[in-house]
Amino acid sequence: MTSTRHKLSSTQKELLKIYTVIKKICEKNKIRFYAVGGTALGAVRHQGFIPWDDDIDLGMPIDDFNKFVQVCKKELPQPYKFSPLHLLGGKVHNTNTTFLEAQCTFSNQNQHYGIFIDIFPIIGVPNQKSDRKAFLKEINQFFIKSFIFDRYPTISKLSKKEIETWRDKLIYKYNLNNSKYAAEFATGFNFIKNTSGMEKPIIMQFENTTIPVPSSFDLDLKNQYGNYHKIPPISERHTHDKYALINDQKPYLYYYRKINNIDPEILNFLKLKDEQEGLFFNDLQQINLEHNELIKLYNQQNQELSKLRYDLDQIIQSRGYKVMRKLQKLSALTKRK
């Protein structure tokens, strides 16, 4: 493949530093990991980053991912922190930097918002296409319910424990070691992979370092991108920086101190946040066949709350009336005496 070298952005340089830390931990502890998505494409087509890309995505077999989470607690050096991504994987951040995605709440000071690398658990999926279709439907149902719980916990029919139990059941339903196919749990079945490609990964050049790529990369990338050798037009080149506030020189806590003043930098971020959330919900309406359930549940709960308030008012009024009658009788008896 012809090399297409380019000058690295400051974000890409920072990502390489984070990757070096992750790679060192994985190699030391014999944790398997692979380049996935655009990172695998970059390694194959550019021997590094896709020039306009500003992230690194890694996949880990589910057992290796769980091991990595535990090892990070002891071996991940400062200023790096591992943050579990709600039910779907995790991120390794440099906490001395800032990467505020538009969908973040920007309200939890204990959450890490530095430049990060995504790590996705890889799970086994059914060998038969018909079974994969049924399993995908179950995973999509899980994503819908977990989204409702995450965003609207007061109207969720499931508790956190029930969501986590359901997640674990899906993750381990098909043993990855006995499966011909695999998928990243966070992306559902958008991109099916061949497990044989993970057994003997190819070590590829990635900028000034190397990265393991599944040996089935040609099949995997064709499945995900079609003709992945073709460079897409500028209009189809997507980056995070349009909907994110990125700063490789200042920690995200710096912006917490500025947020109350709403300076132009923060104001611009908030505008982009609104725009991105609008796009997000538009997409959700298209792909979430049960989106109307949110409204039904919300209205149902409102009706139930209204009924409870009414019943409570009736009880209070009834008891108040009884108390008042007793006081009146007591007052009348006192006057007679």
Output the six-digit token pair for 145.
């319910």
Over 48-94, what HEC string results?
CCCCCCCCCEEEEEHHHHHHHHHHHHHHCCCCEEEEEECCCEEEEEE
The SS3 of residue 182 is strand
Res. 243: pLDDT tops 90: no
Same domain, 256 and 300: no
Res. 326: pLDDT tops 60: no
For residue 210, the enclosing domain spans 10-124+178-284
Residue 2 belongs to some domain of the structure: no
Res. 289: pLDDT tops 60: no
pTM attached to this predicted model = 0.72
- Measured distance CA(297)–CA(156) in Å, rounded: 8
Which of 24-33, 154-163, 186-195, 294-303 has the weakest average pLDDT? 294-303
Residue 132 belongs to some domain of the structure: no
Same domain, 204 and 334: no
5 or 43: which leads in pLDDT: 43
Which of 105-109, 151-155, 211-215 has the weakest average pLDDT? 105-109
Q: Is there a contact between 72 and 64 (Cβ–Cβ < 8 Å)?
A: no
> What is the band of 140 on the pLDDT scale with cuts at 50, 70, 90?
confident
Same domain, 109 and 222: yes
- Measured distance CA(33)–CA(174) in Å, rounded: 20
For residue 256, what pLDDT is reported? 63
By CB neighbour count within 10 A (0-12 exposed, 13-18 middle, 19+ buried), where does 2 fall? exposed
The residue out of 284, 306, 323 marking a domain boundary is 284
Res. 335: pLDDT tops 50: no
> What is the band of 7 on the pLDDT scale with cuts at 50, 70, 90?
confident
CA distances to 231, 316, 318, 333, 336 from 330, rounded to whole Å, are: 91, 21, 18, 5, 10
For residue 319, what pLDDT is reported? 54
Mean pLDDT of 106-133: 82
Output the six-digit token pair for 209.
């370092």
Query: What total number of domains does the chain contain?
Result: 2
Res. 152: pLDDT tops 50: yes
Mean pLDDT of 290-297: 50
The residue out of 266, 284, 302 marking a domain boundary is 284
Same domain, 190 and 307: no
By CB neighbour count within 10 A (0-12 exposed, 13-18 middle, 19+ buried), where does 121 fall? buried
- Measured distance CA(66)–CA(112) in Å, rounded: 20
> What is the band of 333 on the pLDDT scale with cuts at 50, 70, 90?
low
> What is the band of 187 on the pLDDT scale with cuts at 50, 70, 90?
low
- Helix, strand, coil shares of the chain, percent, nearest 5, are 55, 15, 30
Same domain, 99 and 200: yes
Residue 155 belongs to some domain of the structure: no
Identify the DSSP state of 231: P
Residue 140 belongs to some domain of the structure: no
Same domain, 112 and 220: yes
Same domain, 75 and 21: yes
Buried b (16+ CB within 10 A) or exposed e, 231-265: eeeeeeeeeeeebbbbbbeebbeebeeeeeeeeee
Which of 33-37, 66-70, 167-171 has the weakest average pLDDT? 167-171
Res. 56: pLDDT tops 80: yes
Q: Is there a contact between 49 and 35 (Cβ–Cβ < 8 Å)?
A: no
Closest CA to 56 of 81, 31, 23, 98: 23
Same domain, 15 and 32: yes
For residue 146, what pLDDT is reported? 80
Res. 285: pLDDT tops 60: no
By CB neighbour count within 10 A (0-12 exposed, 13-18 middle, 19+ buried), where does 284 fall? middle
Same domain, 222 and 337: no
Same domain, 230 and 309: no
Same domain, 200 and 253: yes
Residue 162 belongs to some domain of the structure: no
Mean pLDDT of 285-313: 54
For residue 301, what pLDDT is reported? 57
Residue 170 belongs to some domain of the structure: no
- Measured distance CA(106)–CA(196) in Å, rounded: 41
Same domain, 81 and 95: yes
CATH number of the domain to which 35 belongs: 3.30.460
